[in-house]
Amino acid sequence: MTKRQLAALETRKKLMNAGKDIICRKGLSNTSVEEITEAAGVSKGTFYTYFRRKEDIVFELSRSMFGEILENAKAAEGDFVEKMKCYMVNFSGYIEQSSVKLAQEWVKNVVKPESSGEQADESKLSSDLSDVSELLSYGIRQGMLRQDTPVSELTHALVDLLYGQMLCWGMSDGAYSLRARTQEFCDTCLEQMLREYCLRAFSPS
């Protein structure tokens, strides 16, 4: 990688970090591009070299981390329930760590996207649906789930649960731990939800 490419990556990183810090404090609607570029120490024009609009930073922040969460879930030890549990708990944990304001922006952008002409598969919701679908499909490919596992139906049910928890947490203004709430669901309900599709036997409780 050339020095110019390294410098471009560093500038993009500065913009994303500055954007995340300001958006988490003030919310997306109260954040301007000028504030982001000033905090990052670059000109306003530089922003548009890397992003079309400030909303893109919210998407980029979510995509970069959630791709890693998917790969970690695939590599997690244990049966498929443990892999899905790893994904869901870390999903909620990252949202909690990122701040309730950023979670509120994610939910708002899903309900009422601000973009003009953005492809549907670039939205956070579509990306999360794709990730959960991929994890279920991975379970089938690895012989951990039955071939007739209803991937689409389970994908939507699980993402509905995650988004419902995120919405309620945002409505409470972060009054409790989102990660802990998701852990409770996984410990009490997830095995029952997936049991009939799993090919590997569960350990006796």
Task: Name residues whose C-beta falls within 8 Å of residue 59's C-beta, 6 or more positions apart in sequence.
Answer: 109, 122, 123, 124
* pLDDT band at 116; cut points 50, 70, 90: very low
The pLDDT of 9-29, averaged and rounded, is 85
- Which of 107, 103, 94 shows the shortest CA–CA distance to 68? 94
CA angle 120, 20, 36 (to 5 degrees): 100
Q: Residue 17 in contact with residue 43, Cβ under 8 Å?
A: no
* pLDDT band at 204; cut points 50, 70, 90: very low
Tokens encoding 10: 């560093």
| Environment class of 191 (CB within 10 Å of its CB; exposed 0-12, middle 13-18, buried 19+) | middle
Domain ranges of the chain: 1-51, 54-197
Residue 35: per-residue pLDDT? 93
Query: Would 1-51 and 54-197 be classified into the same CATH topology?
Result: no
DSSP H helices in the chain = 3-26, 33-40, 44-50, 55-75, 80-98, 100-111, 124-141, 151-171, 178-185, 191-194
**For the domain 54-197, what is the CATH code?**
1.10.357.10
* pLDDT band at 89; cut points 50, 70, 90: very high
Give the CB-side neighbour count of residue 181, counting CA atoms within 13 A: 20
* pLDDT band at 49; cut points 50, 70, 90: very high
**Is 1-51 a CATH 2.30.30.40 domain?**
no
